[in-house]
Amino acid sequence: MSSPQPTYTPCIAIHAGAGYHSPSSESALQTLLCQALTTAISLLRSPLPNNTALQAVTTALRILEDSPLTNAGTGSNLSLAGTVECDASIMDGSDGSFGAVGAVSGLKNPVMGAKEVMEGDRKGVGLLGRVMPMVLCGEGARVFCEDRGIECVDPEDLVTEEARRRWEKYVQHFEDAKRGASDRKRPLAVDTPTSSSSSSKRPRASLPLDIQESLLNDTIGAVAMDSTGTIISAVSSGGIALKYPGRIGEAACYGAGVWALNPNNDISPQIGIGISVSGTGEQIMRTLVAKDCAEVLNDPALTTTDVPNFLRRFVEEHFLKQKVLGRYDERNVGFIVLRVDPGGGGEEGTEEEMEDGTKVDEVENADTNSGESVSCEIWYAHTTQSFSVGWMSAGDRKPTVKMSRKRRSKHLVIEGRPL
């Protein structure tokens, strides 16, 4: 007689970027995250074939992309040339399929373009045995998507008045610096004005406060699991302000922005992982944050109380102290993690705050229908001033959304709880 298979409770977690979030926009952003979560969870609660993690993730990110509150799709940061160029990627934990679009203009919802590329990657080869692409960029990405029915628009339709106003301010400061009219040498990557204790001691000037408070943040993202245990992870980004046209960030890079692996997979006998990353793309690409973080957490022996220590060590040693990042004044990253253990790796207990400030809610999530104990946890970490996150499971009556803010005395925030 075969052993009972676990039944997974569908869930989704999303983020709206790691960086700086103005308190004035916090309420509107939390409302937006609630809308994305409740819409996605309604899909996950519905009958097949509408309740897949893939549909939930793409639906949630389309809502975020369509809002000018986020730096993805409509209202994205503008490049040095004053244009919107977006990156997005998506990964399927059931077979490792991956798809991304980079520096693409005129794509209303970049995540849908990434999904279309992923579906081609899933096939492996096309006509005449040609290997299907995993990543497409620029005009080639737009044409590929348009040929397959993905909605394309006039690139100017993605530029909002607020984005144009910010761009004009940024360009003025940039031109002042080029002419030497100011002794304030401002970094080009102005989407992440935060600092951490790992920053170098080289002197640098800050942007004016009104510009700092209008800055949008980098990648938005989502991870979801459906009732079959399939995990999907995705990211979408408008990139850093004043980026060079054609620049690609972690949202279009394999292993950097997303990772997904189903539970009971070929790599680990148990653990399922979904990760979505945000922050300064060049730093995240150099350190392959998503892939390497998944490898650290893909250990059935880890308990709930072990995870924060492993995450802290990972961020500090793999990111903050990495010599390859020594060229940067600041090191900025934030990510959400969905960790699923069909063997019930969590330990029963209550919420506690560890000595380092890490908050852990140790509760085992048992599925009584299957007879198997399933531990499903959401974790998030960030080195930036703030990180906008939210989550919801099919058993929740309402979503949870939070603006996590780092205290000045801390260089890293790590929190987690069961789903």
Q: Catalytic residue positions?
A: 219
Measured distance CA(102)–CA(284) in Å, rounded: 16
DSSP-assigned letter for residue 38: H
The angle subtended at Cα 64 by Cα 109 and Cα 222, nearest 5°, is 95
- Name the amino acid, one letter, at 385: Q
Cα distance between residue 388 and residue 40, in whole Å: 17
Q: Residue 316, SS3?
A: helix
Lookup result for tokens 């809610």: 361
Q: Are 36 and 62 contacting, i.e. CB atoms less than 8 angstroms apart?
A: no
Q: What are phi and psi of 137, to 5 degrees?
A: -125, 155
CA distances from 266 to 92, 98, 212, 219, 263 (A): 14, 17, 46, 29, 9
Strand positions, DSSP E, 160-248: 220-225, 231-237
20: number of Cβ within 10 Å: 20
Cβ-based neighbour number of residue 292 at 10 Å: 16
